[in-house]
Amino acid sequence: MPEYDAGTVQQLTTACPRNCYSTCTLRVEVEEGRLRRILPHAGNRATPEGACLKGLSYVERVVAPDRILHPLRRAADGRFQRVSWDAALDEIASRLRRLRDEHGAQALLYYFGSGTKGLLNGVGAEFWRLYGGYTTTYGDLCWPAGLEATRLTLGANKHSAPWDLARARLIVVWGKNPAETNIHQMPFIEEAQRAGARLVVIDPRRTESAERADLLVQPRPGSDAALALAIAHVLFRDARVDRDFLQRHVLGWERFAESLHDCTPEWAEKISEVPARYVERLAALFAAGAPVTICAGYGMQRYTNSGQTMRAIIALLVLTGNIGKPGAGWVFANLQSAIFDRVPDPIAFYPPAEPDGVARVSIATARLGRDMLETRNPPLKMIWVERGNPVTQNPETNTVLEAFRALDFRVVVEQFLTDTAREADLVLPAKTMFEQSDVIGAYWHPYIQLKQKVLEPPGEVKPESEVYRLLAERLALPHDAVARAIPGSSDAEIDAWLGERLAPWPELSLQRLREGPVLAPGHQEVAFSDQVFATPSGKIELWSEEAQRRWHAAPLPVWFEPEESLRAQAANARRSALHFLTPNTKDRIHSQFNNLEMIRAHSKRPVLHMSPVDAAPRGIRHADRVRLLNARGSLVAEAHLDFGLRAGCVSMTNGWWISEGGTVNVLSLGRETDMGHGAAFHDNVVDVEKLT
């Protein structure tokens, strides 16, 4: 870390490690050890215009008055009291020794989220391996169904460089709102539009992105696969498929064509409630719009039918030959920068078939609360949480709370008193992104970056790697093994540790990364331009025997009704039910940032968006207080009438804390997607009633 002269202002390069598409490269101004400004860095072609509002709020975040700067211990009255590091670490070590002796190491659940990216995140798992084992989670809350659908179909999760989108002539934004959640994608969309491209948005909500579109299509939630299959039906019916591409590169396209016989626009209209004429129009756009890019969102693949949904949507690009060409392709996840991962594709989310030498046990992220309560041999007794807020963000909040409270001891590493931290017995203060160097990849652009240390940690904050080192000493873990797995606390030791991991790629030296981002070695600017597909057949697989074998799914893309939907509930005569959408917002990354004054200035309270069509029969007017409820829980919010929202749906952004009154997952159920072990918490139906 650089030395600072009194009164000087220095600009340093770093990168935002949040779980966000953009992973922005930043220039930061530091004066006398204080962060002053966040500035753009033109070296990243994907994010040259700089940070979003959340990124700019880092200036406040690092010095926020509610930031945790010292270890906190829960007292008998439930309030937190400051304790010394020695006291906190001694208690943790004592409990870990007793836990291992009395119950076995697997009685500890190591839960880590994706709040930040970086190579150093891996030291936690290494510590718990050396401890003797642990229980962890498999699956993911975010995107596994789409990852698995992509891997099964195309063989790898990669897409073209973000700037390639400007060469598209038809852009279909399907279940995504980049104007809020991928803002750096919008300049490339607008560049394409200026060159004559058409933009189609498919979404139950009329979003900010939809305001830029030539066409907005609003399907019933969970019905997207039916819409895609009907478009495919029309493409075959009208002989608008690329037969040469299909014959050379695609497995199972003939059987797929046969399976679409009854998937007419009229059939899709009955399921999706999208008029048949719109299905015809979409098919015509796909047929004539080459090059075509589909930018798909994550929310759409959080249903119990979403793996097959994503396969059906990818098929539209395959049928029209829009794979491996400039301006064309499937934009969902770009793991080309995941060069450090042992397994860079979604198979990493699967539960281990056999113990990996450290008696590791896995439970489902999607069913976290219930699986915690039901784990036996041994039962869970202790939890360690870092980089996550599972009480708020995992499905079935009330069950997660029950499971947390059933444990003997809880440790949470955090910057603020989140809902999860409030459940802890010990809270350890976490570093911010500016207080330790690390190397990070991305999942939208293809750059490797150095998240450079630019500030010293305030108060008594210690980076997690240092905490693990101190615990290892107290537990008398093998010194040599600890030294290899976990770096020392000094900046030089961190740099040496990172340098060792960069060594296989000379172009990725720390010195080079300090100057700015570097394209990942082997990066393909146009994904699949070599027409190499790492599937069992070596071709794009519309027919996937692996889907059938691994997931017990139909080998061809199909549609089926989600387990919980308005139609699935019809048998229960719940005619008052509405589909509950819980999208992301530009103001937060899930449950992060909303405690900052800069963000709260325009994100004050939970709001429920509701169509006037649904509000009127319930006697609900704009700004009325309403209750959302189902068998799993309830919450109260202020209703906002939204003429752009599809009737039959209500919408509230996710990430509100319990203390803010809007934790949407009190209403969700913990269950998995049809493939990939994702969380299907968007299968979610609620009733809404006016409060008097």
Q: Once rounded to an integer, what is the mean pLDDT over residues 35-52?
A: 94
How do residues 284-312 score in pLDDT, each as one tens digit?
999 998 999 999 999 999 999 999 999 99
- Look up the CATH number of domain 570-690: 2.40.40.20
| pLDDT for residue 360 is more than 60 | no
Q: Once rounded to an integer, what is the mean pLDDT over residues 157-164?
A: 97
How do residues 247-273 score in pLDDT, each as one tens digit?
999 999 999 999 999 999 999 999 999
Structure tokens that stand for 164 in this block: 């390639």
Q: Once rounded to an integer, what is the mean pLDDT over residues 163-191?
A: 97
| pLDDT for residue 528 is more than 90 | yes
Choice between 196 and 659, residue whose per-residue pLDDT is larger: 196
- Proportion of the chain above pLDDT 70, given as a percent: 95
| pLDDT for residue 315 is more than 90 | yes
Cα-based distances in Å from 656 to 140, 246, 303, 390, 665: 20, 46, 21, 12, 10
Q: Once rounded to an integer, what is the mean pLDDT over residues 231-235?
A: 98
- Look up the CATH number of domain 83-133+345-440+456-507: 3.40.50.740
Specify the domain boundaries for CATH 3.40.50.740 within the chain: 83-133+345-440+456-507
Specify the domain boundaries for CATH 3.40.228.10 within the chain: 144-336+527-551
Strand, coil or helix: 60: helix
How do residues 399-438 score in pLDDT, each as one tens digit?
999 999 999 999 999 999 999 999 999 999 999 999 999 9
The pLDDT assigned to 341 comes to 80
- Look up the CATH number of domain 144-336+527-551: 3.40.228.10
| pLDDT for residue 354 is more than 50 | no
Q: Which pLDDT band, with edges at 50, 70 and 90, does 115 fall under? A: confident
Low-confidence winner among 39-43, 88-92, 111-115, 159-163 (lowest mean pLDDT):
111-115
Q: Once rounded to an integer, what is the mean pLDDT over residues 170-190?
A: 97
Q: What are phi and psi of 217, to 5 degrees?
A: -120, 130
Specify the domain boundaries for CATH 2.40.40.20 within the chain: 570-690
Q: Once rounded to an integer, what is the mean pLDDT over residues 626-634?
A: 95
Q: Once rounded to an integer, what is the mean pLDDT over residues 99-118?
A: 93
Using alpha carbons only, give the angle 299, 300, 301 rounded to the nearest 5 degrees.
90
Q: Which pLDDT band, with edges at 50, 70 and 90, does 692 fall under? A: confident
In terms of Cβ atoms closer than 10 Å to its own Cβ (0-12, 13-18, 19+), residue 527 is buried
Output the 3-class SS for 423-469: HCCEEEECCCCCCCCEEECCCCCCEEEEECCCCCCCCCCCCHHHHHH
Residues 559, 571: Cα–Cα separation, whole Å: 20
**How many helices (H) and strands (E) in the chain?**
23, 27
| pLDDT for residue 370 is more than 60 | yes
Region of 370 (left: φ > 0; alpha: ψ -120 to 50; beta: rest) is alpha
Q: Once rounded to an integer, what is the mean pLDDT over residues 4-24?
A: 85
The pLDDT assigned to 573 comes to 47
As a whole number, the mean pLDDT across the chain is 93
The pLDDT assigned to 9 comes to 87
* pTM, two decimal places: 0.94
Region of 551 (left: φ > 0; alpha: ψ -120 to 50; beta: rest) is alpha
| pLDDT for residue 571 is more than 80 | no
